Chain A
Amino acid sequence: MTPGSVTEGTTMPRARQLAASVLDPELPMVTIEDLGILRDVAEDDQGRVHVTITPTYSGCPAMETIRADIVSTLELAGYLHVDVEFALSPAWSTDDLTDEGRRKLAEAGIAPPGPVPTGAAGAGPTPLSLSVRCPQCGSLDTRESSRFGSTACKSLWVCRSCREPFDHFKAL
């Protein structure tokens, strides 16, 4: 879906559809709906819209841009009173990514996150992690080259089979 375009004939309220179409500025292949960070869109009888979103990471620098994009998308569609609230609780998790979002990430060469590990975070001195599938060639023979990547939500990996580097969306 392109920003601002709205699919006819669905039951989702129009304001919700519009907000859901906003793209993540750092991962422009997915919408904020795909990421699971769009929590709520409420419209009152005066046409005022209140949107609630949650950050992926506490320090995510994209939040201000996302707020501005939500407001301008709705304003262009005629909603003149839009406010956007940031809610931290309940904390976002990569389990909130939709299947559609995972598919789009993989298509763009970003390995989607696995399920969030159960058990206490950081419990052991050397945590084990499962291998990540190369989004280019599908090989599981990959290695992590850096635990932190180009954005807070990603780590950097290299495939031993096709030799290509790729981003991996970390389970959180």
Chain B
Amino acid sequence: MDTPLFEYTLGLADDALISAQRMGWWISRAPELEEDVALANIGLDQLGQARSLLTYAAELEGEGRTEDGLAYLRDEREFRNVKLVERPMTDFGVAMARLLAFATYQLHLYRALSTSSDTTLAGIAAKAVKEVAYHVDHASHWVLRLGDGTDESHARMQAALDAEWPYLAELFTPIDPSLADRVADPAHLEDAVVAHVRRVVTEATLTMPEVSRALGGGRQGVHTEHLGYLLAEMQHLHRSHPGATW
């Protein structure tokens, strides 16, 4: 097995999967009905990307596991997502700050990956890049509206950015050297992603956070205490009723 490529694919898949699960939490809780629908659709796009990536990861592993096996039957330490996406988000400003950061990262990553020599990853990325462009657009509109809104919305949007920013750095963890020239290296995308987010943040009359980086470790399976609870909810049906369909 090509372990570095498997781990890389799993990292992208788990970022999308866990983010999708967090997006789903907003259904019935967003500030307006249209936003429930929007966040559900964004989560659905991410879930679709996760499914394709997990299917490919299972194929690379070659041990007969499926996308469902990887999604539902791994424990916390086997997940490879970054901490950015796994933390709860109970403030709508946090949801939009995180979506702006994460979708912008995905946009640049998928765009670079769409010309990768790995044709499966290139195909998944070329499909996904068009979807995440809408997610960036959606988050940008909200950040502009809330940042350049009332004193209350401005303060909460700024607090949300400050809270999410330390976790952004982990997305740009360099890849295994054996993957160079075969996939997109997130370490090369940091400047472009930060510049892209900065344009939105500045236009929204907000200030780019100057904060230290949070500890990474998600790509090695070291997570916050929040991931276990998320997995319990996401996995319990499949584990209680293996192979259940409806």
Contact = CB atoms under 8 A, between A and B. Distances in A.
Contacts of A120: 111
A89 B128 CA distance: 11
Interface of A: 55, 57-61, 88-93, 120-122, 124-127, 145-152, 156, 170, 172
Given A58-B124, A126-B203, A147-B38, 19 more contacts: A55-B48, A57-B45, A59-B44, A59-B45, A59-B51, A88-B127, A89-B122, A90-B126, A120-B111, A122-B137, A125-B199, A126-B144, A147-B137, A148-B38, A148-B40, A150-B37, A152-B44, A152-B45, A170-B134
Interface in B200-226: 200, 203
Contacts of A122: 104, 107, 132-133, 136-137
A99 to B, nearest CB: 22
A151 B37 CA distance: 9
Nearest to A89: B123
A94 B74 CA distance: 37
B111 A148 contact: no
Please report whether the interface of chain A is mostly helix, strand, loop or mixed according to DSSP.
Answer: loop
Contacts of B35: 146
5 contacts: A58-B51, A88-B52, A89-B123, A89-B126, A147-B38
A146 B199 CA distance: 23
Interface of B: 34-35, 37-38, 40-42, 44-49, 51-52, 104, 107, 111, 119, 122-124, 126-134, 136-138, 140-141, 144, 199-200, 203
A147 B52 contact: no
A127 B196 CA distance: 13
B41 A91 contact: no
A89 B37 contact: no
A125 B127 contact: no
B34 A121 contact: no
Smallest CB-CB A-B distances: 5 pairs:
A59-B48, A58-B48, A89-B123, A121-B133, A146-B34
By CB atoms of chain A within 10 A, which of B37, B40, B138, B200 has the most? B37
Contacts of A88: 52, 123-124, 126-127
A145 B34 contact: yes
B15 to A, nearest CB: 14
Contacts of B128: 58
Contacts of A147: 38, 134, 137-138, 141
Contact of B41 (A55, A145, A148): A148
Contacts of B111: 120-121
A20 B6 CA distance: 37
A151 B154 CA distance: 32
Nearest to B41: A148
A89 B127 contact: yes
A160 B131 CA distance: 28
B126 A91 contact: yes
Contacts of A127: 137
Nearest to B44: A59
A156 B144 contact: no
A59 B49 contact: yes
Given A91-B126, A121-B130, A125-B200, A148 B107 contact: no
A126 B140 CA distance: 7
A148 B48 contact: no
